[in-house]
Amino acid sequence: MSVAREARLVVGNDGEEPLELILEPWGDVHRIVPGETGVVLTHTSSESGAWPGTRLGDEPFEVRLGPAWLTVWVNGDCFHLYDRKGDEIEPYVYGGCPAQQPSA
């Protein structure tokens, strides 16, 4: 039984305006208010541990900055969004999460 590989990206807003956090390729939008920090977590089920959505090398995330938004491309099979204390911000998970599949 293989264990899914996991990667985390911490995203914080040190500005004075709310920041739109866009999670691609799902197009899911969350608002990060000033002073707030979130953690994006992804898993891959790849046997080699590679990230299936990677475009340049073998990276779990790609971050693109706009004037009032931050786009995070998640290159794993799923994403989870937590606050800094580890509490899940949304009660659901996008994509097929290899870490949450029931064991056969």
Contact residues toward Zn ion (CB under 5 A) are 43, 78, 97, 99
For residues 16 and 13, what is the distance between their CA atoms, to the nearest angstrom? 8
Q: How far is CA 73 from CA 1, 8, 16, 17, 88, in A?
A: 28, 13, 24, 22, 19
CB 96, min distance to Zn ion, A: 8
The residue (of 40 and 97) whose beta carbon lies closer to Zn ion is 97
The residue (of 8 and 17) whose beta carbon lies closer to Zn ion is 8
In the chain, what are the helix, strand and coil shares in percent, each to the nearest 5?
Answer: 0, 45, 55
Residue nearest to Zn ion (CB): 97
CB 23, min distance to Zn ion, A: 13
The residue (of 19 and 77) whose beta carbon lies closer to Zn ion is 77
CB 1, min distance to Zn ion, A: 16
Strand 5-12 and strand 37-44: the pairing is antiparallel
